[in-house]
Structure 1
Amino acid sequence: MSKPPRRISPSVLENIALHYLDRFDSSAENLRRVLMRRVARAARHHGDDPAEGAALVAALVARFCASGLIDDARFAENRSRSLHRRGRPARAIRQTLAAKGVGDEEIAAALADLAEETGAAGDLAAARHYVRRRRLGPWRPPEERAARRDKDLAALARAGFSWGVAQAALDEGRGEGEDEDEVDLAFPGTFR
């Protein structure tokens, strides 16, 4: 049996928010959603009015934004870099940030900074990371590459890469210093 939720008060709500922000970076809208889920659950359990909790959440999020504890621009910049390193294209980064409640201006600024850092081939670099991480194309054993090419292109398309970028990422060979002899494909992350 699960523990009943605590009755919402300003101090309880602040503790919940601080604990969440201690574990995760968040946008203002995302934190508001997290706190409103907690308020709704507590209101259902205790028979309280969720509108009172919503006012407390709005005041708390505004206070955290004013103090700099929450900064949507910083969140968008950090999250876009993280997603790019994991091999996500700009389109997928934009969708992820929008789903987290980041505004269009912050998203555009974060993607512009990312494009400035990565250069013109930002999506191609992300596709290379994705291909390597998923062991597609040049990272497959040579005997499987031709047979799996269509599946690799489909995987890149599902990840949000354009057809041209997907083909370029699969057609490229391994980078310098990443020869077949140096990387053990049977045990990812180990070297011979």
Structure 2
Amino acid sequence: MTDRAAPGTKRRARRVDGPAPDRAALRAAALAHLARFGTTRAGLEQVLARMVQRWARRAAEAGLPADEIEAQAATARALVAGVVGDMAELGAVDDAAFAGSRARSLTRVGRSRRAVQAHLAARGVGDDVAGAVLDDALGARDGTGYETELAAALVFARRRRVGPFRPAGDDDSDDVEDAAASARRLRALEAMARAGFGRAVAEAALDMDPDEAEERIIRMKSI
């Protein structure tokens, strides 16, 4: 008696779709990615490296010899930096432009300068580029940068409904008001510190008049 596979369980032989990506394939993948997403040179290198890794995985599943897979993958990986360089020459990938755009958008939603810098570093923007871009996009720390940071802190406070954005009528009774207010303020300061805002900026944001706070946010978001 011949055993038969149960319906729907027939195994299909895996196959690899041709050799490892060549320069043309990597370039096409880079252009397709950049048409949809903004990224950095390091980010694009990771995208293309993952493309090569996926090919190697499929090749292994298809039964290609390991030494042949590694040889082809190594050749493909060696092409990645050149393709990324081509994209940079075309202006399709620009770390400074990416950093400036991302810095402004993150600041408008209440991210601190420190948080923005960490975000850029995680995406491969070098410290020198990030520092120059942050000064240009957000202002120097000792000048307009302080005003921008304060406005970002106000956006953060509005989202948390603290400081000038605490709901009206949310007062405690007189006998516990001071203690409750102190506890609320401490929690707000701790949250702002975790978000990367300095103590002076956080206190200025929490103590600001509501009308002035809204005006500062509007002014910052219009830049």
Under a length normalisation based on structure 2, what TM-score does the superposition of the two structures give? 0.69
- C-alpha offsets along residues 104-155 of structure 1, whole Å, 9 cap, x if unaligned? 2211111111215945422111101221233332222241683533322222
Q: 1:158 aligns with which of 194, 205, 214?
A: 194
Within-5 A mapping of 1:26-41: 26-41=39-54
Max Rg structure: 2
1:94 equivalenced with 2:117 (yes/no) = yes
- In the alignment, structure 2 segments of 5+ residues that lack a partner are 1-14, 61-68, 172-179, 215-223
CA distance in 1, matches of 2:130, 2:189: 28
1:159 shift after superposition: 0.9
The answer to whether the 8 A contact 1:157-1:163 is kept is yes
Aligned length: 176
- Which of 157, 160, 163 matches 1:137? 163
2:102 to 70, 73, 79: 79
Deviations 1:46-69 (A, max 9, x none): 142232221121111011111111
Task: Give the SS at the match of 2:28.
Answer: helix
- Answer yes or no: is the 8 Å Cα contact 1:138–1:174 preserved in 2: yes
Q: Secondary structure at the match of 1:141?
A: coil
Aligned to 2:9: none
Q: Deviation at 1:31?
A: 0.9
Distance 1:65 1:167 in 2: 43
- 2:22 aligns with 9
1:148 to 170, 184, 191: 184
The 3 A distance-change label for structure 1 pair 130 and 12 is same
Match of 1:115 in 2: 139
Indicate the RMSD between aligned Cα atoms, in angstroms.
2.6
Any residues of structure 2 matched to 1:179-190 within 5 Å, and which? Answer: none
Could you tell me whether the CA contact under 8 Å between 1:5 and 1:41 is conserved in 2?
Answer: no
